[in-house]
Amino acid sequence: MRIVFDKLAGVRWLTDPLAIPFMQRALLTTLLLAVAAGLLGTWIVLRRLAFFVHATGSATFPGLVVAGAWGIAPPLAALGAGLGFAGLLSRITRRGATGADAATGLLLTAALALGVVLASDVYRSGAGVDRLLFGTLLGLGDGDIALAAAAAVAALAATLALGRTWLATGFDPGGAPALGIRTARGDRLLLVLLALSVVAVLPAVGALLVSTLLVVPAATARLLTGSLRGLLAAAVAIAAAESVGGLLLAYHLDLPPGPAIAVIGGGVFGLVALAASIGARAAA
């Protein structure tokens, strides 16, 4: 009898939160985001853009702080800040005086510092800063669901239309033009899509943890499969599973969803990496 009660308690631990309206919205939003994050995350990992994506997400923080004070729609403010960051980074690196990684790190630090100053000394955002940095379960609404759906559709359409271009550019950027592939246009579209996806992910996981969805699942999937189709499918599946697990953990432990999903994602990646390392040693 005790075993039966334990099983029922375990099932209710999983199902009871999903009967609550705000958890249903959060679940739908994160599942849609998992599609966008898994597909675009594959290209992020293959093109080695993880640091850029993390920096773009953090750079939206000042825009989000200003949005609340000025009455601007947060997605528009975040998109403006993210595109401004990308444009400034492109201008700095084009001059050749500073490497891309160094310039990204400098601008990232400056953006975070500006956001903290604005939130604490100028606009007095208070507890709202946690929601901006780490996401929220309670604040997700119809607009966030629509934005997540748009990001999922855009990621799927772009992967179908531009997957060959992104793959060729990533593995052989010098030889891609000889195949008739317009690498510059493909790269610009990829960066724009990444900026849009960062904006879509922000409400769920916050400005500091966009890599939790956009990088970690795809990095984990790459350890499991070597084919592109397998990588795309596995990245979406892992992002969805980690998102659902993170939401449940956040609900039961009263945590922001971003850190909860990050803990699960980091743990899964660590276990998969350890298993892959052990398997490689055994095969050798």
Identify whether the C-beta of residue 238 lies closer than 8 Å to the C-beta of residue 220: yes
| Residue of 196, 169, 202, 192 lying closest to 90 (CA atoms) | 192
Per-residue pLDDT, 170 = 62
Give residue 269's pLDDT band: very low, low, confident or very high (50, 70, 90). very high
Q: What is the pLDDT of residues 56-86, one digit of tens each?
A: 888 888 888 887 777 788 788 888 888 888 7
CA 250 to chain centre: 17
Q: Any idea where the domains of the chain sit in the sequence?
A: 23-276
DSSP state of 263: H
Per-residue pLDDT, 176 = 54
- Average pLDDT over the chain, rounded to an integer: 82
The span from the CA of 242 to the CA of 212, in Å, is 9
The span from the CA of 156 to the CA of 29, in Å, is 16
Identify whether the C-beta of residue 111 lies closer than 8 Å to the C-beta of residue 59: yes
Taking the C-alpha atoms of 180, 99, 106 and 83 in order, what is their torsion angle to the nearest 10 degrees? -20
What's the whole-number mean pLDDT along residues 266-273?
95
- In one-letter notation, the amino acid at residue 155 is A
Q: What is the pLDDT of residues 159-207, one digit of tens each?
A: 998 888 887 776 655 555 555 566 667 777 888 888 888 989 988 888 8
| CATH dotted code for 23-276 | 1.10.3470.10
User: In this structure, what token pair is assigned to residue 99?
Assistant: 């490497």
The pTM of the full predicted model, rounded to 2 decimals, is 0.85
The span from the CA of 51 to the CA of 40, in Å, is 14
173 Cβ contact list (under 8 Å, min separation 6):
183
Q: Is the pLDDT of residue 119 over 90?
A: no
Identify whether the C-beta of residue 79 lies closer than 8 Å to the C-beta of residue 199: yes
What's the whole-number mean pLDDT along residues 99-122?
80
User: In this structure, what token pair is assigned to residue 194?
Assistant: 């990444």
Distances (CA, A) of 98 to 55, 87, 173, 199: 16, 15, 22, 27
DSSP one-letter string for 140-190: --HHHHHHHHHHHHHHHHHHHHHHHHHHHHHH-TTTGGGGT--HHHHHHHH
